[in-house]
C-alpha cells in the first residue's frame, strides 16, 4: 500500500518521478570509491556534491528521439538522483571524478587518523 510513496527509488515532488541509477560503493586502503551507471550524458547533465559524509549525484538524462509508440522501454530518462551515506570521514578537497564509458567514478580520499597532542596541566 505504501511501497511507492516511500520507495528509495522515487524522489521529488508529487507527480514527478525521479529515478535512481545503479550505484556501487567500495573502499580501498586510502579511498572510498563510488561508481554510478549514467550512460548517455554530457558534461552539465549531472552534478556531484559532497556535504559532510553524504555524497549526492543528480541530473537528467534526456530522451533524444521522437517516438510514435513504444514497443519496449527499459532505459530510464528524466531526472535522476542518488545519495550515498559514507561510513568514513573524507579528506577535505581531495576528491576526483571521472566520467568514462557511461560510468561516473568518484574517488574520495578517506581521512587519516591524526595524533592529538595532550598537554599536562601543572598543579600548583
Confidence of residue 94 (pLDDT cuts 50, 70, 90): confident
Mean pLDDT across 99-124: 90
Mean pLDDT across 109-117: 89
Chain position carrying cell 521529488: 12
Q: In what order do the strands lie in the sheet with 46-51?
A: 46-51, 54-61, 78-85
* pTM (two decimals): 0.76
Confidence of residue 9 (pLDDT cuts 50, 70, 90): very low
* Eight-class DSSP state of 9: T
Distances, alpha carbon 19 to alpha carbons 8, 41, 69, 96, 117, in Å: 9, 15, 22, 24, 48
On the 0-12 / 13-18 / 19+ scale of CB atoms within 10 A, 115 is: exposed
Full set of structural domains in the chain with CATH: 1-63+77-112 (2.60.40.790)
Amino acid at each position: 500500500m505504501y511501497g511507492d510513496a516511500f520507495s528509495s527509488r522515487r524522489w521529488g515532488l508529487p507527480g514527478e518521478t525521479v529515478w535512481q541509477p545503479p550505484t556501487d560503493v567500495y573502499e580501498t586502503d586510502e579511498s572510498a570509491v563510488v561508481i554510478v551507471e549514467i550512460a548517455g550524458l554530457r558534461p552539465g547533465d549531472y552534478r556531484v556534491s559532497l556535504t559532510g559524509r553524504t555524497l549526492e549525484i543528480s541530473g537528467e538524462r534526456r530522451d533524444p528521439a521522437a517516438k510514435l509508440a513504444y514497443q519496449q522501454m527499459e532505459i530510464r530518462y528524466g531526472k535522476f538522483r542518488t545519495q550515498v551515506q559514507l561510513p568514513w570521514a573524507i579528506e577535505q578537497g581531495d576528491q576526483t571524478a571521472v566520467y568514462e564509458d557511461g560510468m561516473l567514478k568518484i574517488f574520495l580520499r578517506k581521512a587519516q587518523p591524526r595524533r592529538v597532542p595532550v598537554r599536562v596541566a601543572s598543579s600548583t
